[in-house]
Structure 1
């Protein structure tokens, strides 16, 4: 059997050799040339695609680098701006810069429109104990975006500029430290710190970071021994994952809680916040108060039922000397957003929670 197969194979090879001998040499040359051309085209296409990818990546990286450099340069320039130049001729308005770290110029954008309240999301990790990160999403945290550079250092500098008169022995100068706003030096700035990480560890880190403010009397505080609240240039409100017992245990308290407004109809819950200045402010989402994430009346704004419900919560808070802020209200359509803002202002919210700072300024 193997002999037969070998003989057949030999016959096939002979036929192939005969056929190759019949092919003209020029045809063989052209065939090889064609193969070489196809191979060259494939290499050229691969090269072009590679060059395009590398060029696009380089341009994108350059654009991002230039954008970041531009922002850093602008922030560096603003850090040298005098407090009077930043807030002069600015009327203070009761708006809250929600997720302030998302803005092109965190803190500065809010101050330039006169916002009396700003909010930053903060994270602390044992692996980097010297840094308090700022960001809404843990995935995108970076050491470049930290509490010192974005908020504490600029605030400390701006407030310090407004207290230079303390160097002079003038008995007419008030012992209270001046605030940050040029037109009203006694207006406090509410700094909301939304804790996203371990509550007690983050609070301990915040106390350490804010010690220069405490030592220079730049923070509002409550003295439990004298039952006295003293307002300073900055009032720190802790929201999010706050450690209630840790904060309340301090005899001199420099941090105050953003109380859960939606729990105020429960007397036991309300009793946790309505004494000893534990909570200067309260907040809740529209959904938490009304079980609806949107304005039920559509473009007309809040429904009558929603208005009545929200009003009842506001009354409870105000009767206990606690301020009110309501978040997660409709942002679109713009007409609905504006109607809801008008209704909340009419209802008596103390601070309007906003994402669009410049649009909100037209309501005051």
Structure 2
């Protein structure tokens, strides 16, 4: 074999090995023998990046959805809740994209070993939506095998489904794409006028549409309204989430979570990973 060809082959092999997740033989065998966990697809980690181990803590609690707020700064997507907390080391790629890719390789094509349902990665754009989304699209393209993809009217499911929320200006470049690796987070005003192939998720502020905070009985009119919303979204194949629901441990939160479950709401919002995990386990639901 010519020297240049040999070097090229060795370089290709080295790159492949560098991208693989290498485990000692004993650990790899133990991982294969460990029973798969039961993911909690309805559990959504709000402001996931504020936990000690972003993404990893949510996955340890079996969450099916995680949320990251991003700012576009000098061509980088930095993860933080507020601009004053920005840290150049905390990028979307380092905290979420690269770890998810490594986990999917280790689990032979899924975030949770043996599971076919994609993990939802909700990306909240905190800077101007169009420019921030274009950079996000470039970064998602580098991990194209990881994500659910929309291609010329058809959706191909991947291990992770990226959903873009936050600044509404992202809608225009998203809608213009015939090939994309992200979907739109619609609002209740989008219900009935968007398709799941574009707006896979419908999210809104609970307090903007409901008065009940889990204390006393859920008003019949509000229960009917909630179930009507969920039914309309599900008819189009869209998932439903509310933010700004009570998140202080106690009877009020449990009562409201119970009504959300009963109505078929797809994602329950929380900062309390262990609390929602325990609640969903107690109710025997994912």
> Do these two structures clear the TM 0.5 threshold for a shared fold by scoring above it?
yes
Within a 5 Å distance, the mapping from 1:1-364 to structure 2 comes to 89-93=36-40, 94-125=42-73, 128-129=74-75, 131-163=76-108, 178-184=109-115, 186-214=116-144, 217-224=145-152, 227-242=153-168, 243-261=170-188, 263-264=189-190, 270-271=192-193, 273-274=194-195, 277-290=197-210, 292=211, 295=213, 298=215, 300=216, 302-332=218-248, 334-362=250-278, 363=280, 364=285
Question: What whole-Å deviation, never above 9, does each CA across 1:220-264 have from its counterpart, x for those lacking one?
Answer: 11122xx32110011110011141110011111211001102x15
Which ranges in structure 2 are unaligned for 5 or more consecutive residues? 1-20
What TM-score comes out, normalization by structure 1 length?
0.65
In 1, the alpha carbon distance for the partners of 2:22 and 2:132 equals 30
Contact 2:148-2:158 within 8 A present in 1 as well: yes
Contact 1:90-1:112 within 8 A present in 2 as well: no
Aligned length: 253
User: Alpha carbon RMSD of aligned pairs, Å?
Assistant: 2.3
In 1, the alpha carbon distance for the partners of 2:127 and 2:22 equals 32
Ranked by relative contact order (alpha carbons within 8 Å, sequence separation 6 or more), the top structure is: 2
Which ranges in structure 1 are unaligned for 5 or more consecutive residues? 1-78, 164-177
In 2, the alpha carbon distance for the partners of 1:333 and 1:96 equals 16
In 2, the alpha carbon distance for the partners of 1:283 and 1:221 equals 21
In 1, the alpha carbon distance for the partners of 2:140 and 2:273 equals 27
Deviation at 1:85, TM superposition (A): 5.0
Q: What SS is found at the alignment partner of 2:88?
A: coil
Contact 1:191-1:235 within 8 A present in 2 as well: yes
In 1, the alpha carbon distance for the partners of 2:217 and 2:69 equals 29
In 2, the alpha carbon distance for the partners of 1:117 and 1:312 equals 24
Higher helix residue share: 1
Pair 1:333–1:305, CA change in 2 (3 A): farther
In 2, the alpha carbon distance for the partners of 1:281 and 1:354 equals 17
Q: What SS is found at the alignment partner of 1:210?
A: helix
